[in-house]
Amino acid sequence: MAKNFKYNRLDKNNAAVLLVDHQSGLTNLVKDFSPDDFKNNVLALADSAKYFNLPTILTTSFEDGPNGPLVPEIKAMFPDAPYIARPGQINAWDNDDFVQAVKATGKKQLLIAGIVTEVCVAFPALSALEEGFEVFVVTDASGTFNQTTRDAAWSRMEAAGAQLMSWFGVACELHRDWRNDVEGLATIFSNYLPAYRCLIQSYEAMLEAHKART
């Protein structure tokens, strides 16, 4: 397997983001991350998508029922993005409007995150893989009942060819080179990763001290 491996990097010119069923009711089911950490990760992915200007598609399932509406912060971040409120289809790929929106982006790399991992993420991920898309599952922006069900979902998707990544890994692979922009990406990292904020503050203090000496 390693002999035939080809490293297909995420390409900001060929990637789209699918945010699937990040709904207020469904967030109560997420137990493999703390509520604060999970929301932080989802918004970090969303902010990264905006930073890299990636086409982003929002979808919800049965939002008039117990699943509830889309998390408002996500809707506010993408006021002009395609928004597909599925009337009942569990697999987003079973909704023609959603599939058309995905294909209309013209992108072949799909970054998928959602609630819950083994259903709302896995089902469209497997469907997209079947149709020839490259699928990257953003693991820490996807949540479910517990680690057992999460690990089973990850294994199923990975066996089918999906790649598992964190939002931080996604951002770094899209960026490629710090010389492309330090301040912009570092600001995102600082906003969502307290440890990274400390790193940047340390770096800025070092720069100030260097200026003072010169």
198 included as an active-site residue: no
What residue has token string 């493999």?
32
CA pair distance 85, 137, nearest whole angstrom: 21
Residue type at 37? D
Enter the DSSP assignment of 84: E
Backbone torsion region of residue 62, taken as left when φ is above 0, otherwise alpha when ψ lies between -120 and 50, otherwise beta = left
Instruction: Using CB atoms within 10 Å of the CB of residue 88, give its burial: 0 to 12 exposed, 13 to 18 middle, 19+ buried.
Output: exposed
State the catalytic residue, choosing from 120, 121, 125, 128.
120
As a whole number of angstroms, the longest Cα–Cα distance in the chain is 65
CA pair distance 156, 213, nearest whole angstrom: 57
Q: Are 21 and 67 in contact (CB under 8 A)?
A: yes
Q: Write out the catalytic residue numbers.
A: 120
